Amino acid sequence: MIRRMTAPADPRPVFERYETLARDADAVFVRVKSEFSGCVTCHEGCSDCCHALFDLTLVEAAYLNGAFLRAFPPGAARSAVLERAYAADRQAHAFKRKAFKASQAGQDVDAVLEDMAKRRVRCPLLGDGERCVLYEQRPVTCRVYGVPTAIAGKGHVCGKSAFERGRPYPTANLDRMHEKLLALSRDFASHMQSGFSDIHTVLVPVSMALITAYDAAYYGADRKGARKND
């Protein structure tokens, strides 16, 4: 049987739903900043959050990739970002591999995670003047950095902010946001007619999102079609 490579579906209907989640994250940031303006110290040119290690869900990664390809046509500027992406991905991979070995050796999981949180990798989208070259399309995590967040029941604040530890503040629940993004990624995989049942669970750093080709082969759309025709 001859397999025919199908074109991926139009992602825009699901991307529009993702953009709604991104706006919700923006609203959380704006609300906290309006109530505690003296505590939120984010300002143009500050890039502290642009060195944090975090991963993207499928829908975020594909959305960012599409925005990157539209903003940077083939040429020197795109190549420069991709070179930074490859370098950042190697660095992030090395950190993750070290963390995995530590956990396999029996090191306390919380200690491993705490060590990973201290690791710094410059985002490949951080351009001249310490400014994001895709700021309007930045991931959800970037949108709430600078205000108090909660992950697995533990509170976190930017080290450059003026929030005082132990005091109650409105908090962005990253676990809840992540659950919504995973659910949307599952819908996205179905919409893209993916032939891989668990593709919506794959998490990647920004660097990998930029260098990946989100085409029909990536989603395995041809696999799904082949099974139907067998």
3-state secondary structure of 155: strand
65 in any annotated domain: yes
Could you list the pLDDT tens digit for every one of the 230 residues in the chain?
445 556 678 999 999 999 999 999 999 999 999 999 999 999 888 999 999 999 999 999 999 999 999 999 999 999 999 999 999 999 999 988 998 898 888 888 878 777 887 888 999 999 989 999 999 999 999 999 999 999 888 888 888 899 988 788 999 999 999 999 999 999 999 999 999 999 999 999 999 999 999 999 999 987 655 444 43
Say what the pTM is: 0.90
**What does the pLDDT read at residue 167?**
86
DSSP-derived letter for residue 202 is: -
Q: Could you give the CA distance from residue 169 to residue 158 in angstroms, rounded to a whole number?
A: 13
Torsional sign, CA 18, 22, 27, 28: positive
DSSP-derived letter for residue 212 is: S
Q: Residue 48 is encoded by which pair of tokens?
A: 């502290």
Q: What are phi and psi of 172, to 5 degrees?
A: -85, 120
Q: How many domains does the chain have?
A: 1
**What does the pLDDT read at residue 223?**
66
Q: Could you give the CA distance from residue 164 to residue 75 in angstroms, rounded to a whole number?
A: 46
Q: Could you give the CA distance from residue 223 to residue 2 in angstroms, rounded to a whole number?
A: 12
174 in any annotated domain: yes
DSSP-derived letter for residue 195 is: S
* Structural domain that includes position 23: 12-229
5 in any annotated domain: no
**What does the pLDDT read at residue 131?**
94
126 in any annotated domain: yes
Contacts of 99 (CB under 8 A, 6+ apart): 112, 113, 115, 116
At residue 40's C-alpha, the angle toward residues 36 and 41, to 5°, is 145
Residue among 62, 53, 70, 54 at smallest CA distance from 17: 62
165 in any annotated domain: yes
| Strand-by-strand arrangement of the 149-151 sheet | 154-156, 149-151, 172-173
110 in any annotated domain: yes
31 neighbors 170 (Cβ within 8 angstroms) = yes
6 in any annotated domain: no
